[in-house]
């Protein structure tokens, strides 16, 4: 979680691959935004 909240990663595109298809992708994006502290 610290990686996503660190100022050095602000605005830096990331590629994160996880299993789960489209439903899993939506959940992953929501979780990453939560970890970063944005909505």
Q: How far apart are CA 1 and CA 19, in angstroms?
A: 19
Total domains present in the chain:
1
- In a 10 Å sphere around its CB, with 0-12 CB exposed, 13-18 middle and 19+ buried, how is residue 25 labelled? middle
pTM over 0.85: no
Closest listed residue to residue 32, CA positions, set 21, 8, 13: 13
Which residues have C-beta within 8 Å of that of residue 22, sequence separation ≥ 6? Answer: none
Gyration radius from the chain CA atoms: 11
Q: Over the stretch 1-39, which tens digit does the pLDDT of each residue have?
A: 687 788 888 888 877 776 777 788 888 888 888 888 865
Tell me which residue range forms the domain holding 26: 2-36
């Amino acid at each position: 979680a610290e990686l996503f909240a660190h100022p050095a990663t602000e605005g830096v595109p990331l590629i994160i691959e996880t299993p789960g298809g489209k439903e899993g992708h939506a959940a992953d994006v929501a979780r990453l935004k939560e970890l970063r502290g944005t909505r």
